Structure 1
Amino acid sequence: MAWGKADDQGTDETGEVVHAPYGPLPRGGNVRPMTRWGTPVMHRPQAKVTVFDDALRALAADMVATMYAAEGVGLAACQIGEDVAMFVMDCPDAAGERWMGVVCNPVVHLPEGKDRVLDDSPEGCLSFPGAFVDCARPDHAVVEGVGLDGQPVRFEGDGLLAKCLQHETDHTLGTVFGDRLSARSMKKLRKQHDAAAEDYPAEWPT
């Protein structure tokens, strides 16, 4: 990875533009099994981060390792069984530029009125793997929170990035995207998930 002077923008080995406005993602973590929907920690608001220490950074590194092993674009702490309001991401926006970051205690801000346009493209979740259905969300989102050192962070974007920011913030509030689906869509999602179950054993993606 080649970074700019402020460590906020660079290009990867393919020449793709990568933004990391608060520094590169923590590395060196361990891949952990994915926590699934139905586990209590997935369905309750997560504990706010109040201590910014090496343990928090180590957790974030495990989350990054697990996200990449599962080929995801975002991961919340509850998805590896931790009751911590934090997510990591490496996700492209509508222009295909990647955004990397860690957000603790996220708060999402969405457009209203005439500025609110819904994107009903397919959505999936690493904690309910192998399944995707259309899920309508605003096509632009802003998330504010704090980083691993307690400093304010802010991410804004469109396309898949907007979905990611909303999806991962939802996780910190105990909401899975299935909670936002109609019964018909949820039935379709569950059918896909069940059909793919053999590809995602309990220890996946370790």
Structure 2
Amino acid sequence: MIYPITVYGEPLLRKVAKPIDKDYPGFDQLVKDMFETMYHSDGVGLAAPQIGLSIRMFVIDASAAADEEPELEGFKKAFINPEIIEFKGDEWIMNEGCLSLPEIREDVSRPEFVKIKYYDENFVEHIEEYGGFAARVIQHEYDHLEGKLLIDYLSPLKKRMLKSRLTNITKGKVKTSYRIIIPGTKK
């Protein structure tokens, strides 16, 4: 099933998501549906709050970036109840977009490396370190579980400059290749 994407202005995107366990109803199908929704929306990552579920889970498939970072070949993972243990390295800037902020792309500074503890879709625990693009996508999706969006990293001036575009998103006045949930409306 392809879910519509929850966009800016929906209060759920600003809430800290709750942990889940292996008995979460329809868990296996949800993982498949999240990957399907992410691919349909042309994303490299998708967090559960972006499909209207306030649970601590995100999926990533960064294998498309393997040309530039060969270690990303086959990098497709589900992260359940993730916890970032450590940020390391210098901050570096990269232009980011977000399915929940259609038509907005901005430069965001993030640490180069991240150490994360999480469970995979079989509820096997992992503690791993990632760098480069993988670390960036993990941090971006993890932010969704903490109620943060990429615009939170922008200067007050830049946020003011985006105000009308953000207002348009809350009203559904954006063009996307995927279905969206306009804040204040039902699915």
Fold conserved between structures, TM > 0.5: yes
Question: What runs of 5+ residues in structure 1 fail to find an aligned partner?
Answer: 1-29
Judged with a 3 Å threshold, the aligned counterparts in structure 2 of structure 1 residues 122 and 191 are, in CA distance, closer, same or farther, namely: farther
1:159 aligns with 2:132: yes
Alpha-carbon shift at residue 39 of structure 1 (Å): 1.1
Amino acid at match of 1:41: L
- The DSSP-based 3-state class of the residue aligned with 2:136 is helix
- The DSSP-based 3-state class of the residue aligned with 1:71 is coil
Name the counterpart of 2:33.
62
Amino acid at match of 1:173: E
TM-score relative to the length of structure 1: 0.74
Amino acid at match of 2:109: A
Instruction: Quote the Cα distance in structure 2 between the aligned partners of 1:187 and 1:64.
Output: 34
Name the counterpart of 1:170.
143
Q: Give me the identity figure in percent.
A: 27
CA contact (8 A) 1:104 1:148 kept: yes
Name the counterpart of 1:10.
none
1:41 aligns with 2:12: yes
Judged with a 3 Å threshold, the aligned counterparts in structure 2 of structure 1 residues 184 and 201 are, in CA distance, closer, same or farther, namely: farther
Instruction: Quote the Cα distance in structure 1 between the aligned partners of 2:115 and 2:162.
Output: 27
Instruction: Quote the Cα distance in structure 1 between the aligned partners of 2:113 and 2:106.
Output: 19
2:111 to 138, 160, 170: 138
Judged with a 3 Å threshold, the aligned counterparts in structure 2 of structure 1 residues 50 and 66 are, in CA distance, closer, same or farther, namely: same
Instruction: Quote the Cα distance in structure 1 between the aligned partners of 2:85 and 2:161.
Output: 30
- Where does 1:10-25 land on structure 2 (aligned, <5 Å)? none
Question: What runs of 5+ residues in structure 2 fail to find an aligned partner?
Answer: 182-187
Amino acid at match of 1:157: Y
Aligned residues: 173
Amino acid at match of 2:69: A
Alpha-carbon shift at residue 187 of structure 1 (Å): 3.7
TM-score relative to the length of structure 2: 0.80
- The DSSP-based 3-state class of the residue aligned with 2:5 is coil
Higher strand share: 2
